[in-house]
Amino acid sequence: MKVQLFIVFVFAFLAIFATADLQDEIDAARKKFCGGISVSKPSKGQVFSNPKKIKVTVKRKPNSLAKVVNGVDLYMIKSDGTAKYLGTPWKNSYQLKTSATMTVDLTRAKGAKFPSQYEVRVWVRNEAGPDCTLMSKTFRVKGTSHSNSDEEALVNMDANIDKGCFGIDITQPAIGEHVSGVFPVQIARDSASPVESVTNVELFKVDLENRQPVKVQDAWAGNSLLYESFNVKDSLKENASDDKEYAYFYKLSGITQHEEKCEFYSHPFYIDN
Protein backbone atom coordinates (compact mmCIF):
# COMPACT_ATOMS: atom_id res chain seq x y z
CA MET A 1 0.00 0.00 0.00
CA LYS A 2 2.83 2.38 0.90
CA VAL A 3 4.57 1.51 -2.38
CA GLN A 4 1.38 2.31 -4.32
CA LEU A 5 1.04 5.65 -2.53
CA PHE A 6 4.66 6.43 -3.29
CA ILE A 7 4.15 5.63 -6.98
CA VAL A 8 1.05 7.86 -7.10
CA PHE A 9 3.04 10.66 -5.44
CA VAL A 10 5.89 10.31 -7.95
CA PHE A 11 3.52 10.43 -10.94
CA ALA A 12 1.73 13.46 -9.51
CA PHE A 13 5.08 15.16 -8.93
CA LEU A 14 6.22 14.43 -12.50
CA ALA A 15 2.86 15.59 -13.88
CA ILE A 16 3.33 18.99 -12.22
CA PHE A 17 6.71 19.44 -13.87
CA ALA A 18 5.42 18.11 -17.22
CA THR A 19 2.59 20.65 -17.10
CA ALA A 20 5.04 23.42 -16.25
CA ASP A 21 7.33 22.37 -19.14
CA LEU A 22 4.36 22.30 -21.54
CA GLN A 23 3.29 25.79 -20.46
CA ASP A 24 6.85 27.03 -20.98
CA GLU A 25 6.78 25.59 -24.51
CA ILE A 26 3.43 27.26 -25.24
CA ASP A 27 4.73 30.60 -23.96
CA ALA A 28 7.91 30.26 -26.02
CA ALA A 29 5.93 29.44 -29.19
CA ARG A 30 3.64 32.41 -28.58
CA LYS A 31 6.61 34.75 -28.25
CA LYS A 32 8.34 33.26 -31.30
CA PHE A 33 5.41 33.36 -33.70
CA CYS A 34 3.44 36.31 -32.29
CA GLY A 35 6.20 38.59 -31.06
CA GLY A 36 7.02 41.70 -33.03
CA ILE A 37 3.53 42.20 -34.47
CA SER A 38 0.88 44.60 -33.22
CA VAL A 39 -2.21 46.55 -34.23
CA SER A 40 -1.00 50.16 -34.52
CA LYS A 41 -4.28 51.66 -35.77
CA PRO A 42 -6.89 52.62 -34.62
CA SER A 43 -5.10 54.65 -31.98
CA LYS A 44 -6.31 54.91 -28.38
CA GLY A 45 -9.59 56.80 -28.16
CA GLN A 46 -9.61 57.57 -31.89
CA VAL A 47 -13.00 58.81 -33.08
CA PHE A 48 -14.43 57.80 -36.47
CA SER A 49 -17.32 59.52 -38.22
CA ASN A 50 -17.94 56.83 -40.84
CA PRO A 51 -18.42 53.27 -39.48
CA LYS A 52 -17.95 51.87 -42.99
CA LYS A 53 -14.36 53.12 -43.26
CA ILE A 54 -12.45 52.00 -40.20
CA LYS A 55 -8.75 51.71 -41.00
CA VAL A 56 -7.04 48.82 -39.19
CA THR A 57 -3.25 48.64 -39.50
CA VAL A 58 -1.02 45.74 -38.43
CA LYS A 59 2.74 46.21 -38.24
CA ARG A 60 5.51 43.69 -37.78
CA LYS A 61 9.24 43.42 -37.41
CA PRO A 62 10.30 41.37 -40.46
CA ASN A 63 11.77 37.90 -39.98
CA SER A 64 11.77 34.61 -41.86
CA LEU A 65 8.30 33.57 -40.63
CA ALA A 66 5.61 34.07 -43.32
CA LYS A 67 2.40 35.64 -41.99
CA VAL A 68 -1.03 36.37 -43.44
CA VAL A 69 -3.81 38.55 -41.99
CA ASN A 70 -7.03 36.63 -42.59
CA GLY A 71 -9.73 38.04 -40.31
CA VAL A 72 -10.89 41.00 -38.23
CA ASP A 73 -13.40 40.38 -35.40
CA LEU A 74 -15.45 43.18 -33.87
CA TYR A 75 -16.28 43.72 -30.20
CA MET A 76 -18.55 46.40 -28.77
CA ILE A 77 -17.31 47.53 -25.36
CA LYS A 78 -20.05 48.47 -22.91
CA SER A 79 -19.63 51.17 -20.27
CA ASP A 80 -18.95 48.54 -17.58
CA GLY A 81 -16.09 47.05 -19.60
CA THR A 82 -18.07 44.05 -20.85
CA ALA A 83 -17.09 43.07 -24.38
CA LYS A 84 -19.77 41.79 -26.76
CA TYR A 85 -18.64 39.82 -29.82
CA LEU A 86 -20.46 41.00 -32.96
CA GLY A 87 -18.89 38.87 -35.67
CA THR A 88 -16.17 39.08 -38.30
CA PRO A 89 -16.84 42.02 -40.63
CA TRP A 90 -13.59 41.51 -42.58
CA LYS A 91 -12.37 38.21 -44.04
CA ASN A 92 -9.67 38.01 -46.67
CA SER A 93 -6.04 37.06 -47.12
CA TYR A 94 -3.50 39.87 -46.81
CA GLN A 95 0.21 39.07 -46.88
CA LEU A 96 1.85 40.71 -43.87
CA LYS A 97 5.39 41.86 -44.59
CA THR A 98 6.12 45.04 -42.65
CA SER A 99 2.65 46.58 -42.62
CA ALA A 100 -0.91 45.80 -43.68
CA THR A 101 -3.92 48.15 -43.63
CA MET A 102 -7.49 46.91 -44.00
CA THR A 103 -10.64 49.02 -44.43
CA VAL A 104 -13.32 47.46 -42.24
CA ASP A 105 -17.06 48.15 -42.56
CA LEU A 106 -18.49 47.85 -39.05
CA THR A 107 -22.07 47.96 -40.33
CA ARG A 108 -21.55 44.44 -41.70
CA ALA A 109 -21.49 43.18 -38.11
CA LYS A 110 -24.97 42.41 -36.83
CA GLY A 111 -25.77 44.35 -33.66
CA ALA A 112 -23.32 47.21 -34.21
CA LYS A 113 -24.72 50.46 -32.80
CA PHE A 114 -23.53 54.03 -33.03
CA PRO A 115 -22.32 55.98 -31.14
CA SER A 116 -20.35 53.40 -29.20
CA GLN A 117 -16.84 52.22 -28.42
CA TYR A 118 -15.24 49.20 -30.05
CA GLU A 119 -12.13 47.13 -30.37
CA VAL A 120 -11.12 44.70 -33.09
CA ARG A 121 -9.29 41.39 -32.85
CA VAL A 122 -7.03 40.68 -35.80
CA TRP A 123 -6.22 37.09 -36.78
CA VAL A 124 -2.74 36.49 -38.18
CA ARG A 125 -1.99 33.07 -39.65
CA ASN A 126 1.53 31.70 -39.49
CA GLU A 127 2.37 29.30 -42.28
CA ALA A 128 4.70 27.35 -39.97
CA GLY A 129 3.15 27.80 -36.55
CA PRO A 130 0.10 28.72 -34.44
CA ASP A 131 -2.28 31.55 -35.28
CA CYS A 132 -1.90 34.87 -33.47
CA THR A 133 -4.70 37.09 -32.18
CA LEU A 134 -3.98 40.78 -31.75
CA MET A 135 -6.26 43.23 -29.97
CA SER A 136 -6.55 46.83 -31.15
CA LYS A 137 -6.79 49.80 -28.86
CA THR A 138 -10.32 50.88 -28.03
CA PHE A 139 -11.78 53.39 -30.47
CA ARG A 140 -15.07 55.23 -30.83
CA VAL A 141 -17.55 55.64 -33.64
CA LYS A 142 -19.98 58.55 -33.86
CA GLY A 143 -23.70 58.21 -34.44
CA THR A 144 -25.20 59.10 -37.79
CA SER A 145 -27.30 61.92 -36.30
CA HIS A 146 -24.30 63.84 -34.85
CA SER A 147 -26.59 65.14 -32.10
CA ASN A 148 -25.45 66.72 -28.83
CA SER A 149 -26.47 63.56 -26.93
CA ASP A 150 -24.26 61.48 -29.24
CA GLU A 151 -21.31 63.78 -28.58
CA GLU A 152 -21.90 63.62 -24.83
CA ALA A 153 -22.03 59.81 -24.97
CA LEU A 154 -18.59 59.74 -26.62
CA VAL A 155 -17.07 62.21 -24.15
CA ASN A 156 -18.37 60.33 -21.09
CA MET A 157 -16.91 56.94 -22.03
CA ASP A 158 -14.54 55.45 -19.45
CA ALA A 159 -10.83 56.33 -19.81
CA ASN A 160 -9.83 52.92 -18.38
CA ILE A 161 -11.62 51.26 -21.26
CA ASP A 162 -9.68 53.50 -23.65
CA LYS A 163 -6.50 52.10 -22.12
CA GLY A 164 -7.70 48.52 -22.64
CA CYS A 165 -8.12 47.91 -18.91
CA PHE A 166 -11.12 45.60 -18.98
CA GLY A 167 -12.03 41.94 -19.26
CA ILE A 168 -10.28 40.80 -16.05
CA ASP A 169 -12.23 39.51 -13.06
CA ILE A 170 -10.96 38.18 -9.73
CA THR A 171 -13.57 35.49 -9.19
CA GLN A 172 -12.25 33.93 -5.97
CA PRO A 173 -12.46 34.62 -3.10
CA ALA A 174 -16.09 35.50 -3.82
CA ILE A 175 -17.80 38.57 -2.40
CA GLY A 176 -18.37 38.15 1.35
CA GLU A 177 -16.70 34.72 1.40
CA HIS A 178 -14.91 33.54 4.57
CA VAL A 179 -11.60 31.78 3.90
CA SER A 180 -8.86 30.41 6.15
CA GLY A 181 -5.51 28.64 5.93
CA VAL A 182 -4.26 28.33 2.36
CA PHE A 183 -6.91 29.42 -0.13
CA PRO A 184 -7.10 29.90 -3.93
CA VAL A 185 -7.09 33.24 -5.71
CA GLN A 186 -8.61 32.84 -9.15
CA ILE A 187 -8.42 35.36 -11.99
CA ALA A 188 -10.54 35.02 -15.12
CA ARG A 189 -9.68 36.72 -18.41
CA ASP A 190 -12.16 37.38 -21.19
CA SER A 191 -10.78 36.48 -24.62
CA ALA A 192 -11.53 40.07 -25.71
CA SER A 193 -9.34 41.61 -23.02
CA PRO A 194 -6.25 43.47 -24.26
CA VAL A 195 -4.53 42.68 -20.94
CA GLU A 196 -1.72 40.31 -21.90
CA SER A 197 0.25 39.70 -18.71
CA VAL A 198 -0.05 39.90 -14.93
CA THR A 199 2.76 41.43 -12.88
CA ASN A 200 1.49 41.52 -9.29
CA VAL A 201 -1.29 40.27 -7.03
CA GLU A 202 -1.45 42.17 -3.72
CA LEU A 203 -3.56 41.57 -0.62
CA PHE A 204 -5.08 44.56 1.19
CA LYS A 205 -7.12 44.86 4.38
CA VAL A 206 -9.75 47.44 5.29
CA ASP A 207 -10.52 48.47 8.86
CA LEU A 208 -14.31 48.21 9.07
CA GLU A 209 -14.38 51.27 11.33
CA ASN A 210 -12.37 53.82 9.36
CA ARG A 211 -12.54 52.14 5.91
CA GLN A 212 -8.86 52.81 5.23
CA PRO A 213 -7.12 50.25 3.00
CA VAL A 214 -3.67 49.01 4.02
CA LYS A 215 -1.45 46.67 2.04
CA VAL A 216 -0.84 43.38 3.85
CA GLN A 217 1.43 41.40 1.53
CA ASP A 218 2.25 40.33 -2.01
CA ALA A 219 0.39 37.17 -2.93
CA TRP A 220 2.34 36.84 -6.18
CA ALA A 221 4.86 38.93 -8.14
CA GLY A 222 6.52 38.32 -11.50
CA ASN A 223 5.57 38.64 -15.16
CA SER A 224 3.35 35.91 -16.58
CA LEU A 225 1.40 35.73 -19.81
CA LEU A 226 -2.35 35.57 -19.28
CA TYR A 227 -4.62 33.06 -20.95
CA GLU A 228 -8.19 32.24 -19.89
CA SER A 229 -7.32 32.02 -16.21
CA PHE A 230 -4.56 32.60 -13.69
CA ASN A 231 -4.50 30.97 -10.26
CA VAL A 232 -2.35 31.42 -7.18
CA LYS A 233 -2.46 30.13 -3.62
CA ASP A 234 -2.32 32.53 -0.71
CA SER A 235 -2.50 32.57 3.07
CA LEU A 236 -2.34 35.29 5.68
CA LYS A 237 1.34 35.47 6.68
CA GLU A 238 0.76 37.50 9.84
CA ASN A 239 -2.42 37.62 11.91
CA ALA A 240 -3.72 41.01 13.04
CA SER A 241 -2.19 42.15 16.34
CA ASP A 242 -5.38 43.94 17.46
CA ASP A 243 -9.00 43.00 17.97
CA LYS A 244 -10.33 45.03 15.06
CA GLU A 245 -12.45 43.52 12.31
CA TYR A 246 -11.08 43.62 8.79
CA ALA A 247 -12.34 42.94 5.32
CA TYR A 248 -9.82 42.00 2.64
CA PHE A 249 -9.49 42.49 -1.11
CA TYR A 250 -6.96 41.81 -3.87
CA LYS A 251 -5.39 44.24 -6.29
CA LEU A 252 -4.11 42.80 -9.57
CA SER A 253 -1.65 44.71 -11.76
CA GLY A 254 -1.30 43.86 -15.42
CA ILE A 255 -0.04 45.13 -18.78
CA THR A 256 -1.91 45.22 -22.09
CA GLN A 257 -0.60 44.26 -25.53
CA HIS A 258 -0.03 47.99 -26.05
CA GLU A 259 2.01 48.31 -22.82
CA GLU A 260 -0.67 50.18 -20.88
CA LYS A 261 -0.60 49.53 -17.12
CA CYS A 262 -3.88 48.37 -15.56
CA GLU A 263 -5.22 47.68 -12.08
CA PHE A 264 -8.15 45.49 -11.07
CA TYR A 265 -9.74 44.89 -7.68
CA SER A 266 -11.59 41.96 -6.15
CA HIS A 267 -14.77 42.05 -4.12
CA PRO A 268 -14.29 42.24 -0.32
CA PHE A 269 -13.99 38.96 1.59
CA TYR A 270 -12.97 37.81 5.07
CA ILE A 271 -10.02 35.80 6.39
CA ASP A 272 -10.79 33.79 9.53
CA ASN A 273 -7.92 33.18 11.95
φ, ψ of residue 42 to 5 degrees: the values are -65, 155
* Angstrom distance (rounded) from CA 190 to CA 252: 15
Percent of the chain with pLDDT over 90: 67
Specify the pLDDT at position 9: 45
* Angstrom distance (rounded) from CA 260 to CA 200: 15
Instruction: Give the tens place of pLDDT for each residue, 205-263.
Output: 999 888 899 999 999 999 999 999 999 999 998 876 677 889 999 999 999 999 999 99
Specify the pLDDT at position 14: 45
Q: Which residue has the higher pLDDT, 5 or 85?
A: 85
Task: Tell me the whole-structure pTM to 2 decimals.
Answer: 0.80
φ, ψ of residue 55 to 5 degrees: the values are -85, 120
Concatenate the DSSP letters of all residues of the chain into one string.
Answer: -HHHHHHHHHHHHHHHHHHHHHHHHHHHHHHHHHTTEEEEESPTT-EES-TT-EEEEEEE---S--EEEEEEEEEEEPTTS-EEEEEEEEEEEEEESSEEEEEE-GGGSTT--SSEEEEEEEEEEETTS--EEEEPPPEEE--SS--HHHHHHHHTS-HHHHHT--SEEEEESPTT-EE-SSEEEEEEE-TT--EEEEEEEEEEEEETTT--EEEEEEEEEEEEE--SEEEEEE--SS--SSS--EEEEEEEEEEETT--EEEEEPPPBEE--
Specify the pLDDT at position 10: 45
Letter for the amino acid at 72?
V
Specify the pLDDT at position 168: 96
The residue among 179, 140, 177 whose CA lies nearest residue 268 is 177
Specify the pLDDT at position 20: 56
Q: Which residue has the higher pLDDT, 161 or 29?
A: 161
Lowest-pLDDT range of 62-71, 172-181, 242-251 = 62-71
* Position 271 pLDDT exceeds 80: yes
* Position 187 pLDDT exceeds 60: yes
Question: What does pLDDT average to over the chain?
Answer: 87
Specify the pLDDT at position 2: 42
* Position 86 pLDDT exceeds 90: yes
What sign does the dihedral 27-33-37-39 (CA atoms) show?
negative
Instruction: Give the tens place of pLDDT for each residue, 2-49.
Output: 444 444 444 444 444 445 576 777 778 778 888 899 999 999 999 999
The residue among 193, 185, 150, 161 whose CA lies nearest residue 265 is 185
Percent of the chain with pLDDT over 70: 86
Specify the pLDDT at position 13: 41
Backbone torsion region of residue 162, taken as left when φ is above 0, otherwise alpha when ψ lies between -120 and 50, otherwise beta: alpha
Specify the pLDDT at position 226: 93
Q: Binning pLDDT at 50, 70 and 90, where does residue 189 land? A: very high
- The rounded Cα 219 to chain-centroid distance in angstroms is 19
Lowest-pLDDT range of 4-8, 95-99, 146-150, 187-191 = 4-8
Lowest-pLDDT range of 129-133, 143-147, 232-236 = 143-147
Specify the pLDDT at position 145: 66
